[in-house]
């Protein structure tokens, strides 16, 4: 995992999802449940409240997979999910966190 080459290799096949969600107990369960029931591993999760704390933002790092389009559609159906945006693996949110995982 630590070698630059393997990180780059994986980065090619990863996607970052950015979700705006209502901030209350249970929202994370709804989101990650969609992945776990499909045996689709979430590689990274980052959540913080936004602004007044009424909403939160969830960042998910996932492997690219043929099921990803379906996953995004399923996430969009959740009542507590307000918006979903897809980013490439080059998005810096998880990259900047890497120093905490050494």
Residues that bind another protein (CB under 8 A): 25-26, 29-30, 33, 37, 69-70, 73-74, 76-79
Give 27 or 61: the residue with its C-beta nearer to another protein. 27
Give 79 or 92: the residue with its C-beta nearer to another protein. 79
Give 28 or 47: the residue with its C-beta nearer to another protein. 28
Kindly report the backbone phi and psi dihedral angles of residue 43, in degrees, each rounded to the nearest multiple of 5, phi listed first: -80, -35
Least separation in angstroms between CB 75 and another protein: 9
Least separation in angstroms between CB 45 and another protein: 17
């Amino acid at each position: 995992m630590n070698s630059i080459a393997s990180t780059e290799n994986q980065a090619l096949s990863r996607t970052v999802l950015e979700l705006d969600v209502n901030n209350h107990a249970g929202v994370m369960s709804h989101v990650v449940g969609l992945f776990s029931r499909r045996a689709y591993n979430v590689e990274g999760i980052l959540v913080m409240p936004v602004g007044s704390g009424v909403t939160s933002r969830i960042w998910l790092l996932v492997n690219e997979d043929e099921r990803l389009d379906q996953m995004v559609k399923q996430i969009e159906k959740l009542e507590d999910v307000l918006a979903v945006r897809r980013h490439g693996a080059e998005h810096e949110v998880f990259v900047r966190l890497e120093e905490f995982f050494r």
